[in-house]
Every structure is written in C-alpha cells, then in structure tokens.
Chain A
Amino acid sequence: ETGVTQTPRHLVMGMTNKKSLKCEQHLGHNAMYWYKQSAKKPLELMFVYNFKEQTENNSVPSRFSPECPNSSHLFLHLHTLQPEDSALYLCASSQPTGSNEQFFGPGTRLTVL
C-alpha cells in the first residue's frame, strides 16, 4: 500500500462544505483511477486518467470534480455533497495497458452529514 497514498484517511463534511481528496502514487504509473466503495455494493469506477488526460467519466454527478495535474497526483474535489455520497473513496494506479493490475491506496472514509 505504500506505493499509493491517500489523504486524508477520514473526512467528515457538511453538505455545504468544499473539500478535496488527494492521491499520490510512487510507482511510475501513467494511469490513475477514482473508485467509490459503498456497503454491500460493487466497487464503482468513477474516473480514469491516462497520461493526465481524463478518458472515463462513469456518469458521475458534477458535485465530484477530478483533477490530475501530473501522472503522480490525482485529486477529487467535493462540493455540495449528499449524505448518500458517504462511502470509502479509493484511488488506484497502473500502467495504462489492459493486462496490468491496479495498485490501490488505503482509501478515504468520507461521511457527509
């Protein structure tokens, strides 16, 4: 897990707050991902970045805004979230070819009040 780090590990925010999640990978990968993990639901892919370009937006509401300033860093900007957005948000990285496994960070546990 030390190859992909995420901060903060826990976040509690109100529905009117603006916050950001940060992900950093030290593996030299060129693809980064955001996933949402909710209880008793499959892991949901949110966004994919390949070589800093967004290549996938899986019908994610606009209150989630990703940013990828370089191949090592990925952010998820949050604003006016809803209580149902409470979940574990996981970041992952890989080389961008299909046969490569993804490496995951420990996640940010988000609670929206």
Chain B
Amino acid sequence: AQSVAQPEDQVNVAEGNPLTVKCTYSVSGNPYLFWYVQYPNRGLQFLLKYITGDNLVKGSYGFEAEFNKSQTSFHLKKPSALVSDSALYFCAVRGMEYGNKLVFGAGTILRVKS
C-alpha cells in the first residue's frame, strides 16, 4: 500500500520568512513524489515533482522540495514567503508498481501574514 502524511493541518508564517510544509510517505519501492497547491474555488495546480536524481527539486513560484529517502520525507520549502502563497498544499505519492494511481495527503493550510 502507499500513503502520505502531512502532520500539520495549518502552518503560519510571517511574510519574508522561510516556510516549510512537511510531508512523509510510505510506499514499497522507489516513489514518485508531487506537490500541488489549491487556491479557493480552484482545482489543484502542480508545483513540482521528484522522479529520480538530485534530491533537491525546484518548482514553480520559487518553491523547492527535498527528497530524503532515509526519513521518507519530501518537505516543501520556500526561502521567503509571500502573502499570495497562502493556500492549501497537498503532497502526493505514487509507487512505481501502482501505475498512474496517485495518493494524496490530507492537505496543509498555509497562512502567510504581512
């Protein structure tokens, strides 16, 4: 089976400060890992993915994520948060043996205050 945990329901950060949204996963074999963002009344938007290679992945809007195989984590980071980053963030995993079936975490609300 494959699963994703996002341990924080909400993360609060001041504008200009670095942010981290946590994600851990469980899957047999090597994972494909994804981050998506959802703004109110919108669908999910793809931010970045880890497939293989460099553990630090860079994505849209200045976001990046670090794959840590030993800790089975894929935390989302940004060096300097913007108020416009406030949204709902989802981590997702797909094990290579699961075809194109993606499993999502419960989501983390990010609030950036000015």
Residues of chain A whose beta carbon lies under 8 Å from any beta carbon of chain B? 1, 4, 6, 31, 40-43, 45, 48, 50, 55-56, 90, 92, 94, 96-107, 109
User: Contact partner of B106 among A4, A42, A102, A106, CB < 8 A?
Assistant: A42
Question: Is B94 in contact with chain A by the CB < 8 A criterion?
Answer: yes
| A48-B42 in contact (CB<8A) | no
B4-40 interface with A by 8 A CB criterion: 4, 32, 34, 36
Interface residues on B, range: 20 to 34
- Distance between Cα atoms of A96 and B104 in the complex (Å): 18
| A105-B43 in contact (CB<8A) | yes
- Distance between Cα atoms of A50 and B100 in the complex (Å): 9
| A90-B44 in contact (CB<8A) | yes
Q: List 7 A-B contacts (CB under 8 A).
A: A4-B43, A31-B100, A40-B106, A42-B105, A45-B102, A99-B49, A104-B36
